[in-house]
């Protein structure tokens, strides 16, 4: 099984915000990250890149934990 990890761009570094992402759902001006265990985080912003072979998603914006 191939799951992804999401990182938020923060200046010159990337901060890990969620592991084991199984699903991404668009909503309004952002999207939900949903992991294997059903935990959710809402990102108000955009996806800068998604490397699904490497399991790495890079985001730009704000993260809201719900």
- 5/15 Cα distance (integer angstroms): 11
* Residue 14: both structure tokens together: 């990337």
Residue 57 near residue 6, CB atoms below 8 Å? yes
Q: What global pTM score does this model have? A: 0.85
Residue 66 reports pLDDT greater than 90 = no
Residue 12 has pLDDT above 90, yes or no: no
pLDDT score of 65 more than 80: no
Residue pLDDT, tens place only, 29-54: 899 999 999 999 999 988 999 998 99
């Amino acid at each position: 099984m191939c799951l992804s990890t999401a990182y938020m761009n923060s200046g010159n570094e990337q901060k890990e915000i969620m592991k084991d992402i199984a699903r991404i759902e668009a909503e309004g001006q952002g999207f939900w990250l949903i992991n294997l265990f059903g935990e959710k985080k809402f990102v108000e912003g955009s996806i800068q890149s998604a490397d699904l072979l490497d399991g790495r998603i890079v985001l730009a914006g704000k993260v809201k934990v719900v």
